[in-house]
Amino acid sequence: MPRFAPHPEKRPSIVTGASSGIGAATAIALAEAGHPVALGARRVAKSEEVAARIRAAGGEALALPLDVGDNDSVRKFVAAATEALGPVEILVSSAGGLTPSPIHELDTDQFAEQVGVNLIGAHRLVSAVVPDMVARRRGDVVFIGSDVVPAPRPGMAAYVPAKAGLEAMAHAMRMELEGTGVRASIVRPGPTVSDLAAGWDQQATLTMLENWKQWGFARHPYFLRASDIAAAVATVVSAPRGVHLTLVEVQPEAPLRETPDA
């Protein structure tokens, strides 16, 4: 006899930061696995393009407005998603932001804004979703972390401490939720091509990358794709009940070395 009842075949899911990048790719991956998905982001028109793509492929998806920096917006998003799809089984916290800057040169309000999006926004979702998961004794919460947590990089003034706080919160949640049937997991991307860099000052970006090389962080030019991270998220939530993938770090494979002529 199994120790746990299996997952429902269709698991209503919500994905934040779903208008592009990792969030959009994750929504697509979950829909391809048969789960109805609510896509949350400030850019609703962009999210709707992703949702339309999912529906055209036979999946179930809707785009809803979401600002993780606003309590009312989060509550309305979760309520609308639950009404449309059913009680949330999967929460993927993917919303984030990054401005390249040395710590001492970043305005404190900008620092707080980035911490608010990357960390406090994730907690807003947790407080709105997880109590109901605990009451139903099942659910998956996946936080998109970053490999800057074990290996902080220069030039990422607020992003590094925000993601460190996010992963610390996830680890604490995992211990607090033990025995409830709810799993809290981290998917930790390495260097990834994403929209985080959109709008960055070119010179600030080049300076940051040069500093990365100095400290040994740019070993090769290959970056992950958003779909690579989405595949990891889909793997985490598809693990059968009784199995908990607590931390999955995803790194890009290096280009193949040149081989000497035979």
Cite the active site residues. Answer: 159
How far is the C-alpha of 121 from the C-alpha of 61, rounded, in Å?
22
Paired residues of 188 in beta bridges = 249
Contacts with 79 (C-beta within 8 Å, 6 or more apart), sequence order: none
Paired residues of 16 in beta bridges = 40
Contacts with 8 (C-beta within 8 Å, 6 or more apart), sequence order: 89
Q: Do the Cβ atoms of 219 and 191 come closer than 8 Å?
A: no
Bridge-based pairing of strands 13-16 and 90-93 is parallel
Collapsing DSSP to helix, strand or coil, 255 comes out as coil
Q: Helix, strand, coil proportions of the chain in percent (round to 5)?
A: 45, 15, 40
Q: How many CB atoms lie within 10 A of CB 151?
A: 12
How far is the C-alpha of 147 from the C-alpha of 249, rounded, in Å?
7
How far is the C-alpha of 205 from the C-alpha of 246, rounded, in Å?
32
How far is the C-alpha of 62 from the C-alpha of 85, rounded, in Å?
9
Q: Which DSSP symbol is given to 164?
A: H
Q: Do the Cβ atoms of 54 and 61 come closer than 8 Å?
A: yes
Q: Which two tokens stand for residue 188?
A: 């930790």
